[in-house]
Structure 1
């Protein structure tokens, strides 16, 4: 199957999800839904494309929990809401069904596999000034040097340390390039999910009194409890100290650093301030302020990357493009500063190339994009 077809299908799937989001808004009414179609030409196009298929939908109740939830939330509303809401729900369902059939039919006609090869940029591990690629060949070379035992399955590296056998400490550094992701399972049972363009440095094995790592980029930590050995994450001049919890740290250069807590408790500290975060809170540290700003976090936004998605909520286009360029290994150029200051909200899958994401941003009619090899030129339409 051609990549362009896959992207088109994925775009349509995201549009179907936008229908669902509008339906889940408890304040939405018929006027809101109609206005949503007029404001988004792609949603309108999607509706028009499949409206002729509505007569063939087998619209009946089931005992599935999804239907029960839908029935309780929407079908108990006044009748003036009911028909249009049901109609839009059916449209979204038909969209998914029709596109799935189209995908299968065309892939059979062309007699080619549906899957597309994954990104080839591979992370590396550095030990004693030697660099090993994190694939089967690189891991084999790594083990031949009598380093600590490791096992690799797909995009995860797991340490295997025999506590009865003395091991000389050594520094390990994992580098995840642009367009890459990786997961690390440490010997203490902790797991670290590394986002694109991230570096993690740590001692193997840990010391007898503490577990310390240093990070640049972004990572999600699942720390195994150990009251005798605190887990400390260092980034720039800051650190997070925990005993056992789940949290996300984003500390890319030239951007504010942020620690977001999902469960447990952590202490976030720098040279000027120290705070304790509760679940659902985030601590933000900028280069211009000494104090740590604590606020409620939108965890879904923070952890979207773990689910292979982008989720930007009211962010300047310049910040959005920084994240996109990290993932797609591109550069960007704005026609003027005010273009980069425009605010956008978007949630979508991390596609194999950036074109599909750019089309979604262009659907707002506020900006247009022109791609020249690895450079993206952005122009305001306002």
Structure 2
């Protein structure tokens, strides 16, 4: 999209000050009180036909659609500063692509077109089939050999470790792991984000080590988000895990989030709706009252684009919504233009 066309789109969306004013009005609404009033009204006067005008009035209070995110994405950067060389319609999602670093330092590029069988260490081989790589042990390990799987922005990859553990590695992440685990424990190192489905093994606990915490469990499913410079989060979907910070371990139950804020060593645990944390593993983005800054970071990594904020206050707005992770970025923007953008 050319600079002139982008400017016309921004003009059509309105001024940033107007949007911020409306957003601040929305934030002042007591959503719980509004929902309670709505329920009481329906119970007191059960309608024969649904009054959609009333429903939409309260729905607007309770849910801010993902399309509003698009308003900010268009207002957050000047067209000259937003360095995207092609039109939004051509900005495609990430794909299955990664770099496999072997124990001897050799690198192998992996993508959806690669199908091969690789020698990945003296005691293991790996089968590469398009979107994932699967390890198999030839014999018991006599010495530890490590591989590293790296994804860049705009990439993701799946791996089945030697013990049967499944890992989905998100964009701009890396996982370091032994090609064959020892008979005492299973330890992997993560930077970035990954979803784990750990193979049960009572004799060998499984550990995920990040820069700020160590996660221990014996067979479960959980998501770890540990991008450098950001908060470290682990969300438990099922099973049980222990999270260690320093020398103290805390136990998590399903539906709980453990978090260490960036620049802090304090661990907090709370109940959450796990969907917004793990939806990416199932092909969707689900933003639950997240700041535009965090949303922009997610979109930047996945679509491999650069988003710059021309106004710093916009990045602190919060939004809720859902969209298809494997679609182009255009559907986030398109509904706001009131017409189909030309390609």
Deviations 1:252-280 (A, max 9, x none): 12221111111111110112642100111
Deviation at 1:38, TM superposition (A): 8.8
Q: Report what 1:180 is aligned to.
A: 155
Contact 2:256 2:272 survives alignment (8 Å): yes
Contact 1:202/1:212, CA 8 A, preserved across alignment: yes
SS for the counterpart of 2:295 is helix
Q: Kindly state the Cα deviation for residue 303 of structure 1 after the two structures are TM-superposed.
A: 1.1
Higher helix share: 1
1:151 to 127, 135, 138: 127
Gaps of 5+ in 1: 1-25, 44-116, 366-382
Higher-Rg member (1/2): 1
The equivalent position to 1:239 in structure 2, one of 209, 214, 225, is 214
Which of 201, 207, 214 is 1:226 aligned to?
A: 201
Is 1:258 aligned with 2:233?
A: yes
Q: Identify which of 105, 110, 124 aligns with 1:129.
A: 105
Q: Give how far 1:120 is off.
A: 5.5
2: distance between equivalents of 1:122 and 1:325? 17
TM-score (ref. length: structure 2): 0.68
Report deviation, 1:166.
Answer: 5.5
Aligned to 1:63: none
Partner of 2:333: 358
Aligned residues: 264
- 2: CA distance between counterparts of 1:41 and 1:161? 48
Contact 2:149 2:174 (8 Å CA) reproduced = yes
Name the structure 2 match of 1:162: 138
Query: 2:66 and 2:152 mapped to 1: Cα distance?
Result: 34
2:55 counterpart residue number:
33
Partner of 1:331, secondary structure, is coil
How much does 1:350 deviate?
1.6
Under a length normalisation based on structure 1, what TM-score does the superposition of the two structures give?
Answer: 0.62
Q: Tell me, in whole angstroms, the C-alpha distance in 2 between the residues paired with 1:180 and 1:208.
A: 33
Q: Measure the CA separation in 1 of the matches of 2:110 and 2:212.
A: 29
Tell me how far 1:342 sits from its aligned partner.
1.0
1:83-131 per-position Cα deviation (integer Å, ceiling 9, x unaligned): xxxxxxxxxxxxxxxxxxxxxxxxxxxxxxxxxx985662111012110
Residue 321 (structure 2) aligns with? 346
Query: Which of 183, 186, 191 is equivalent to 1:216?
Result: 191
Tell me if 1:204 matches 2:226.
no
* d(CA) in 2 for partners of 1:168, 1:41: 53
Distance 1:37 1:292, change over 3 A: closer
Report the counterpart of residue 244 of structure 2 in structure 1: 269
Distance 1:325 1:267, change over 3 A: same
Match of 1:320 in 2: 295
Q: Which residue of 1 aligns with 2:280?
A: 305
- Work out whether 1:337 is the aligned partner of 2:337: no
Please give the alpha-carbon distance, in whole angstroms, between the structure 1 residues aligned to 2:141 and 2:262. Answer: 42
- For the residue of structure 1 that corresponds to 2:296, the secondary structure is helix
Distance 1:144 1:221 in 2: 21
Does the 8 Å CA contact 1:132/1:141 hold for their aligned counterparts?
Answer: no
CA distance in 2, matches of 1:171, 1:310: 32
Change (3 A) 1:318 1:272: farther
Deviates more, 1:327-336 or 1:269-278: 269-278
CA gap of 1:341–1:197, structure 2 versus 1, over 3 A, is same
Give per-residue Cα distances to partners, 1:233-257, cap 9 Å, x unaligned. 0000311011111111011122211
Rounded to whole Å, the distance in 1 between the matches of 2:293 and 2:228 is 14
Contact 2:93 2:329 in 1 (8 A): no
Q: Which has the higher contact order (CA 8 A, sep 6+)?
A: 2
Q: Distance in 2 between matches of 1:156 and 1:265?
A: 26
